[in-house]
Amino acid sequence: MNIHDHLIGDVLNRLNQQELAETAAQPPHHLKVTPSIGRFLELLIEEQQPARILEIGTVPGYSTIWLARAGLHCDATIDSVCDCPATLQIATQNIQECQLLDRVNLHQSAPNDFLSQAPAQHWDLIFLNSDRHAYASWWPHILRISRTLLVVCNGAVKQAPDFQPLLQTVDHDPALERTILTIGHGLLLIRHRSVTPMATDQVDGRPLLMPRIPSRST
């Protein structure tokens, strides 16, 4: 591990501890991205080698740093969208402290506005950690802007009822398959059936078996 890796690790640890303290004091307004989710995203990026990654829900830059660090190994760029100027400023400082700001494009925008104006077939991987009630309404935009369609959504177990409209939308499209992984607060993965199956790996020392993403699984 080089000095840069140590620097990023220190920032990620600090942000995680801050989040734990804030959650203990009062429920957060956003759903926490856990270290296990961060490691899973790293494994996914290592396996899939995306060139462009889109994140909806920057706060406080924790997951953005995980994405950007993984992106170093495949020369990926990250676009991250946040509609709160104060939160975006905090995220900018955290990402800059990791010396990753040159790899991340931060956008202050309402997610729906950003998605509706985004270029078609532009991103290889999309990570959603924002307003889960809106995911189904965003889905036509996500289909349009995705190159190969690989979407990861945080909170699929913790906030399962909020995901039902999106799950129904996905399940009615025979070209798509999805699964829910019990990592952190639960991750929903959606992709085209034609995507090459992902390799077996580990998260937190436990086997993560994904020879294929089964359709309509819960």
pLDDT band at 215 (very low <50, low <70, confident <90, very high): very low
CB 159 within 8 Å of CB 170: no
* pTM for this model (two decimals): 0.83
pLDDT digit string (tens) for 72-113?
A: 989 999 999 999 999 999 999 999 999 999 999 999 999 999
pLDDT digit string (tens) for 16-53?
A: 777 765 554 444 445 678 999 999 999 999 999 999 99
Mean pLDDT calculated for residue range 191-211: 49
Alpha-carbon torsion 145, 150, 156, 160, what sign? Answer: positive
Who has greater pLDDT, 124 or 9? 124
**SS3 annotation, the chain:** CCHHHHHHHHHHHHHHHHHHHHHHHCCCCCCCCCHHHHHHHHHHHHHHCCCEEEEECCCCCHHHHHHHHHHCCCCCEEEEEECCHHHHHHHHHHHHHCCCHHHEEEEECCHHHHHHHCCCCCECEEEECCCHHHHHHHHHHHHHHECCCEEEEECCCCCHHHHHHHHHHHHCCCCEEEEEECCCCCEEEEEECCCCCCCCEEECCEEECCCCCCCCCC
Mean pLDDT over the full length of the chain: 85
Task: Give Cβ neighbours of residue 69 (< 8 Å, ≥ 6 apart).
Answer: 5, 8, 42, 98, 100
pLDDT digit string (tens) for 145-193?
A: 999 899 999 999 999 999 999 999 999 999 999 999 999 999 999 999 8
Rounded to 5 degrees, what angle do the CA atoms 14, 29, 185 make?
A: 70
CATH architecture for segment(s) 3-208: 3-Layer(aba) Sandwich (3.40)
